[in-house]
Structure 1
Amino acid sequence: MPLDEHNVSNNGDTSLGDNITLTDDDVFLYRSGANLLDNLEDVRSIVSYHENYIAEKYKMKRDYYKGRHHAIIQRPPKPHNKPDYRLLINLPKKLVSTFNGYFSGDPVSIKYHSDSDASNDKMNDEIQSWLNDNDYGDTFSEWAKQADIYGRSYLYVYQIDGDLRIAVCSPRDTIMIYDDSIQHRPVAAIRYSTNSNKQYDTLITPKADYLISNDNANSEMKVTNVDPNNPDNVVKEDIHDFESLPVIELAEDDERIGIFDDVISLIDAVDLIQSAKVNDVSSFADQYLVVKGQKLTEEQVTNIQDKRFINLYRETKTSFNNTDSNMLDPDAFFLTPDPSDETQENALNRLIDMVYQVSQVVNLNDSNFGVSAQSISGVALLQRYQPMQAKARTKAKKMDKGLRQLFSIMFAYKNLSGNVSDLTFDHKQSIPHNVSEEADIVGKLNGQVSDPTKLSYLSGIDDPDKEIERLHEQQKQDQQATANIVKNYLSDQKKGGVVDDDNGQATTGKNTATNQSGRPNGQAD
């Protein structure tokens, strides 16, 4: 089923007016130099087109993710009360959960380090404290998950009670607008909602949030939170004057294609085949009894239905004292449909395999994954995860770009002197590793390569150089602990009257005279 369900051709860029262009990736471009506040009719055009056409695509994607698959649900009912099961195999949610768990199961690690700034620790404390206040692990995970579903998602930065907060916004009711320059710089964003005959839009710019009332009854459109005598004076709580646009897009890729966009037709086929299999099983209850060579009376039919008993025998017809050779021998059997189960199973397995291949997501329910990771070579594991790993790397670069935009706003808002280019983002994707094989490799490399190179083969070590520093520090601590034990032991021995003589012999501290035979005085030879 195609995602484009509207009658507007979007195989290339579409013009929506003098100032607005819509790309084939459903990205709105606005003419450089034009001001949206001076052209509120452009705001209406953008919102109207988005609501009538683009939002419908997102609703369809949402339905499929929630298990409301259009092809199987909207299928016409079968006639004559035939079995009509409609099974929904929610592969879209499975794909999203698997990939998002792999991509953001562990929150991205954000560190600040500047060679020219001695306050790295202070900056990291500020960043971590702000992230924790905003529950960044859950927020970033939802940000990434919505991008999997819709192909894009938005992070909205706002101020409340003198603090800076972030929230995830859905592309179903949020629109990002870029300029039509080669850089495609963010110009503004729109969030809209409809209530009765009035539509309320919020035009978001780096300077402020403008509330726009759209009265469909009298076709009047105006900014409601601006002083009529001074259009630049918006109400205080809506002024923020951020460093950049406080709406940040996370795109799944450059084309804004969701993770299951390309496999919806395959998912529909899986639903149809699985439903047909159950219908076939149910149809066995509709078997027909065939009786050949015998005409049953009403009483016999009733006995078959009620008593489940049938007695058939060949009746003879006397014709010249011979049996009619044209008569059939009585027979009874059930007429059942051919289930074609093997063909259906092969098609089903092939379709499910293609769903995972095309979406570049690892099928964790594959029978091959039943083998312990300890029994699979590290190369084989990486090969299985390589398509999903490549997809995750592409998305991580998109998220890093958005995070730098986020922290440019945060640094300016909190008057921090840091540079966003000194931020590093570590995305820890959870790939199973053959730890035993890694340990064998490290053992074989002992004495062959440097320690940092050797430790880099262990997947559990993120920073080999820092690990070596910790190892040396631990060795020093162990040596000091051993020295302290020996020192305490010798001190205890001295206090107990036991010392070492020049020959290394342990003797008592008292001088004992001996006779010529070496025995103490007073003892007989």
Structure 2
Amino acid sequence: MAIRRDRDLIEDLGNIPTEIISNCIEEHLSGVPRLTKLDNYYIGEHAILTRETNEEMQLPNNKVVANHAKYITDMATGYVFGKPIKYEGDSVEAITEAFKLIDIVSHDSELSKDLSVFGVGLELNFMSSDEVPIPKVTVIDPRHIFLVEDDTVEHKPLFAVHYYEKRDIKNEPIGFSVMVYTETNVTKYFIKEADSTDFELIESEPHFYNAVPVVEYSNNEEQQGDFEQQLSLIDAYNIIQSDRVNDKEQLVDAILMVKGISFGDDATEQAETARMLATHKILELPAADADAEWLTKTLNETQVEVLKDAIKSDIHEFSLIPNLTDENFASNSSGVAMKYKLFGLEQLAVIKERYYTQGLRKRLALFSNILNVKGQASDVSDIVIYMYRNLPEADVSIDEIVKLIDFVSNETLLGLLQFVDAPEEEIERVREQLKERSEREQKAFGMPFDDADVIEDDVKEAE
């Protein structure tokens, strides 16, 4: 969540006091351990891996990680952001072209993953270092950047801070670079420690975005990750799976109890007898009342399986992410039944989409500002943002499309074909193709093929 400060504490928004910057960095650092824990769970470094081994008892201590955290994040981001976001408006061409140059689709994918893991994502807008600079965006780890807003109900951005570790030629840490972004400029400082109050000014230059060029995106109102509330369930599942493997290992390493016989008078003879037994798998019982049996632990797999399935079900239920490997989910179902199974995921998607759209509006405004400076006027006030769910869809057959001719426009019909990306462009290409064919036919029969009206009538008739 963005850090809040009273606007009255800053006399000049273009020159942020270093005391406030230092205080905000300190506050941000207090929340970094939580973000690090969430990141660790996503990459598979769970609490079970730190469980200590009982050295005295020499019991097995397997550490099994079932990474439900990664599954939840990958499923949620794939469903909501798996398809490119589309923008429509009267003056959207300049911005969409700028987005194509920087592969904004890949950027959105990376940003959506941060949202799912950390509950918050931050992107920095900047101008490239090319000979002809272009506006670009990059995702920055929320553990190294934060946005500061005022404490009014509008929560207007005051400034943003990006700080990262600096290293020398031997790759030894020597301090931190601190980049402070205001509405008009970016100022670079150097500090020896992250919590230092001694700021060394390096440089300051304008950025021409006419706004703080950092956008903060929220995953939900609380800015929680998609699996954050399920961490205790994930830990419980890992413990059960690890203990099941431990029990199996102890079963294999069962103790052989013998009665009425001796393996030897001393440790050497006993060790030799044990080796012979392990090699030949034969044990001679000299007395009638002698006996040998394994001391094993009774395993109740049924109860363990029920508990494991219950915890797994809770993980999927409370995260709103369906278990796609469940036989009930994978069974043949009607379209309505499938929608009900995805109802929880759809609610999650609606929330993520609503908050993501708020961030996209701010990104569009920043791009519009910088493009206006470059002389490429653009108005984002009427732009409509469309986000599509990434679901498998059955291809519409050609026969079904043919039946719709004269009932649906050609553009809509072409849009039903999976191999046609741009129906409008395809219609135009067909129009040109028919025009060329009409010209060839008229020329072959000695007709005035240069008559535009005749050609146009033939094209319309062919369509």
Whether TM-score is above 0.5 comes out as yes
Q: 1:148 to 1:84 in 2, by over 3 A?
A: same
Q: 1:65 to 1:419 in 2, by over 3 A?
A: same
> Cα distance, 1:412 vs. partner?
2.1
What is aligned with 1:269? Answer: 236
- Percent of aligned pairs with the same residue? 22
What is aligned with 1:308? Answer: 281
What is aligned with 1:47? Answer: 25
What is aligned with 2:64? Answer: 87
> Cα distance, 1:468 vs. partner?
12
What is aligned with 2:121? Answer: 153
Report the Cα distance in structure 1 between the residues aligned to 2:263 and 2:348, rounded to whole angstroms: 71
Report the Cα distance in structure 2 between the residues aligned to 1:311 and 1:110, rounded to whole angstroms: 83
Q: TM-score with structure 1 length normalisation?
A: 0.70
- Map 1:205-244 → 2, pairs under 5 A: 205-215=182-192, 221-222=198-199, 224-225=201-202, 234=204, 238-244=205-211
RMSD over aligned CA atoms reads: 3.8
> Cα distance, 1:221 vs. partner?
3.0
What is aligned with 1:406? Answer: 363
> Cα distance, 1:335 vs. partner?
1.0
Contact 2:79 2:390 in 1 (8 A): yes
Residue 333 of structure 2 is aligned to residue 356 of structure 1: no
Cα deviation 1:254-284 (Å, max 9, x = unaligned): 1100011000111111111111111111112
1:78 to 33, 46, 54: 54
Contact 1:31 1:179 in 2 (8 A): yes
> Cα distance, 1:349 vs. partner?
1.5
Greater CA drift, 188-197 or 267-276? 188-197
Greater relative CO (CA pairs within 8 A, separation 6+): 2
Cα deviation 1:145-174 (Å, max 9, x = unaligned): 111110001110011343211111111111
2:35 to 26, 41, 58: 58
> Cα distance, 1:224 vs. partner?
1.3
1:392 to 333, 342, 349: 349
Report the Cα distance in structure 1 between the residues aligned to 2:31 and 2:346, rounded to whole angstroms: 30
What is aligned with 1:137? Answer: 105
Q: 1:204 to 1:66 in 2, by over 3 A?
A: same
Cα deviation 1:12-64 (Å, max 9, x = unaligned): xxxxxxxxxxxxxx43111023316453212111112222x211111111111
- Map 1:338-487 → 2, pairs under 5 A: 338-371=298-331, 375-415=332-372, 416-433=376-393
Cα deviation 1:212-262 (Å, max 9, x = unaligned): 333459965346145xxxxxxx3xxx3113132210011101110001100
What is aligned with 2:150? Answer: 179
Q: 1:284 to 1:217 in 2, by over 3 A?
A: closer
Report the Cα distance in structure 2 between the residues aligned to 1:165 and 1:258, rounded to whole angstroms: 26
Contact 2:219 2:356 in 1 (8 A): no
Letter in 1 for 2:355: K
Contact 2:190 2:200 in 1 (8 A): yes
Contact 1:197 1:217 in 2 (8 A): no
Greater CA drift, 93-102 or 262-271? 93-102
1:285 to 225, 232, 252: 252
Letter in 2 for 1:243: N
> Cα distance, 1:367 vs. partner?
2.1
Residue 87 of structure 2 is aligned to residue 110 of structure 1: yes
Contact 1:193 1:201 in 2 (8 A): yes
Q: TM-score with structure 2 length normalisation?
A: 0.78
Q: 1:356 to 1:98 in 2, by over 3 A?
A: same
SS in 2 for 1:221: coil
Report the Cα distance in structure 2 between the residues aligned to 1:409 and 1:241, rounded to whole angstroms: 10
> Cα distance, 1:138 vs. partner?
0.6
Report the Cα distance in structure 2 between the residues aligned to 1:206 and 1:469, rounded to whole angstroms: 41
Greater CA drift, 408-417 or 142-151? 408-417
Contact 1:381 1:433 in 2 (8 A): no
Letter in 2 for 1:276: D
Report the Cα distance in structure 2 between the residues aligned to 1:286 and 1:217, rounded to whole angstroms: 52
Q: 1:311 to 1:221 in 2, by over 3 A?
A: closer
SS in 2 for 1:224: strand
Contact 1:153 1:171 in 2 (8 A): yes
Report the Cα distance in structure 1 between the residues aligned to 2:208 and 2:343, rounded to whole angstroms: 43
Runs of at least 5 residues in structure 2 that lack an aligned partner in the other structure: 167-172, 446-463
Report the Cα distance in structure 2 between the residues aligned to 1:339 and 1:296, rounded to whole angstroms: 30
Greater CA drift, 216-225 or 126-135? 216-225
Contact 1:461 1:467 in 2 (8 A): no
Runs of at least 5 residues in structure 1 that lack an aligned partner in the other structure: 1-25, 115-119, 227-233, 316-328, 492-525
Greater Rg by CA: 1
Q: 1:426 to 1:285 in 2, by over 3 A?
A: same
Residue 160 of structure 2 is aligned to residue 189 of structure 1: yes
Report the Cα distance in structure 1 between the residues aligned to 2:226 and 2:22, rounded to whole angstroms: 30
Contact 1:381 1:432 in 2 (8 A): no
Q: 1:194 to 1:436 in 2, by over 3 A?
A: closer
